[in-house]
Amino acid sequence: MPKVGMEPVRRKALIDAAIAAIGERGSLDVTMSEIAGRAGVSAALAHHYFGAKDELLQETMRHILRELGRDVAAALHGVTEPRARLTALIAVNFAHNQFSAGTIAAWLAFYVEAQRSEPMRRLLRIYARRLHSNLMDALCQLLIAEEARQTAEGVAALIDGLYIRCALRSAAPDAVNAIALVEDYLDHKLSRRRN
């Protein structure tokens, strides 16, 4: 008989195990048995909670997006000045819990999976729209509309690109340099407007 109240704990353990397995393997080529073993549960229980592996992977992506959304909300809470909001957005994308080796590998694997999976593609579109919206909210207060749009696209491309480059290297993620690179681009775009 299952223990009452254990389902959320086990589901979270399976999601964390999926991120770790994907991070270690560098792809979605992991089995439910492998993920379940890492989580300390049986493969049958993993299937009970999530059904197929694709459903677990989609829930893992949702989990990563929810965590990022919570982190963004916390970082922006009480920050009203547009440039400070942009700095907070950039920093949160490279925070330790977001820019860790396992999470970076999971993001890359999800990007690849989105090429064949409409549910994954939809989740990545949600992420992209949220990032764009948050950037535009601040940038529209600093730049004219077209410049704001181009700058938002540039910042988003740098963030995504830095994740991809990090996933393809064997070195540990370097958040300090990643933030500095994005901030430098943003400063350049904003200074051109002031001149």
Q: How confident is the model at residue 1 (pLDDT cuts 50, 70, 90)?
A: very low
Q: What is the mean pLDDT of the chain?
A: 91
- pLDDT surpasses 90 at 92: yes
Residues of the chain with pLDDT > 90, as a percent, come to 70
Residue 26 has what pLDDT? 74
Domain enclosing residue 140, as ranges: 60-194
CA dihedral 35, 40, 42, 45 (to 10 degrees): -80
User: For the range 139-148, what are the long-range contacts, defined as Cβ-Cβ under 8 Å and sequence gap of 24 or more?
Assistant: 139/82, 139/86, 141/82, 142/82, 142/83, 142/190, 142/193, 143/189, 143/190, 143/193, 144/193, 147/189, 147/193
In tens, the pLDDT along 111-153 reads: 888 999 999 999 999 999 999 999 999 999 999 999 999 999 9
Residue in 38, 127, 69 with CA at minimum distance from that of residue 15:
38
Name the residue with higher pLDDT: 28 or 84. Answer: 84
Q: Is residue 182 part of a domain?
A: yes
Name the residue with higher pLDDT: 195 or 161. Answer: 161
Measured CA to CA in angstroms, residue 177 lies from 7, 102, 138, 165, 182 at distances of 40, 19, 23, 13, 9
Q: Is residue 166 part of a domain?
A: yes
Q: Is residue 17 part of a domain?
A: no
Please give the tally of structural domains in the chain. 1
**Residue whose pair of structure tokens reads 């009452």 in the numeric block:** 4
CA 50, CA 44: separation in Å to the nearest integer? 10
Residue pair 20/38 in contact (Cβ under 8 Å)? The answer is: yes
Q: Is residue 123 part of a domain?
A: yes
Q: Is residue 183 part of a domain?
A: yes
Q: Is residue 30 part of a domain?
A: no
In tens, the pLDDT along 44-78 reads: 999 999 988 889 989 999 999 999 999 999 999 99
CA 48, CA 13: separation in Å to the nearest integer? 14
The CATH number for 107's domain is: 1.10.357.10
Q: Is residue 70 part of a domain?
A: yes
Residue pair 82/142 in contact (Cβ under 8 Å)? The answer is: yes
- The reported pTM is 0.86
Residue 4 has what pLDDT? 59
Which of these ranges, 17-31, 68-82, 89-103, has the smallest mean pLDDT?
Answer: 17-31
Residue 182 has what pLDDT? 98
Residue 2 has what pLDDT? 55
Q: How confident is the model at residue 80 (pLDDT cuts 50, 70, 90)?
A: very high
Name the residue with higher pLDDT: 87 or 165. Answer: 87
